[in-house]
């Protein structure tokens, strides 16, 4: 999750809700990286930074590992063709893919209630 260097891209309550939903569906502290939740997502090449700084919109940049987004790697995919330890066949656990999908659905539903 990219939320800025001080998590300023999202209001505190929205940020806490997203963390709670992620933990609920994917496990405690799943959003942590190097002991910190998420990453900064700063710089001109980050959509979250652009949305927050240029458009004055709250934002979060969600980057997903294959373990929560690849139900089955296609044989024609570039990753399948790679001759590295990350190439070849791959299939994420269905519970992880479903957990990420449910997280996104629940978070979007939560955001809709914030608009009301």
Tell me the per-residue pLDDT of 23-66, one tens digit each, with 9 for 90 and over.
999 999 888 877 777 788 888 889 999 999 999 999 999 989 99
Percent of the chain with pLDDT strictly greater than 70: 99
Backbone angles phi, psi at 11, to 5 degrees: -60, 150
**Which of these, 54, 7, 35, lies nearest to 17 by C-alpha position?**
7
Q: What number is the average pLDDT over the span 60-78?
A: 93
On whether the CB atoms of residues 87 and 73 are closer than 8 A, the answer is no
Q: Residue 91 carries which DSSP code?
A: -
Read off the pLDDT band of 81 (50, 70, 90): very high
Strands (E), the chain: 32-33, 36-37
Using DSSP bridges, classify how beta strands 36-37 and 32-33 pair: parallel, antiparallel or unpaired. antiparallel
Please check the confidence at residue 86 and state whether its pLDDT lies above 90: no
Q: Give ∠ CA 73-79-81 in degrees, rounded to 5.
A: 100
Q: At what angle do helices 12-26 and 94-115 cross, to 10 degrees?
A: 150
DSSP at 21: H
When pLDDT is cut at 50, 70 and 90, the band that residue 71 belongs to is: very high
Using a CB cutoff of 8 Å and minimum separation of 24, what contacts does 87-94 make?
90/66, 92/66, 92/67, 92/68, 93/67
What's the pTM value of the predicted model, to 2 decimals? Answer: 0.85
Average pLDDT over residues 58-81: 93
More confident residue, 111 or 38: 111
């Amino acid at each position: 999750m990219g939320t800025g260097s001080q998590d300023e891209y999202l209001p505190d309550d929205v940020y806490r809700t997203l963390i709670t939903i992620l933990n609920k569906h994917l496990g405690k502290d799943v959003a942590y990286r190097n002991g910190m939740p998420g990453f900064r997502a700063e710089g001109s090449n980050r959509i979250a930074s652009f949305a927050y700084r240029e458009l004055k919109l709250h934002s979060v940049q969600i980057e997903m590992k294959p373990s929560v987004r690849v139900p089955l790697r296609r044989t024609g995919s570039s990753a399948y063709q790679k001759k590295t330890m990350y190439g070849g066949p791959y299939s994420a656990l269905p519970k992880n893919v479903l957990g990420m999908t449910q997280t996104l659905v629940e978070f979007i539903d939560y955001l809709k209630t914030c608009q009301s």
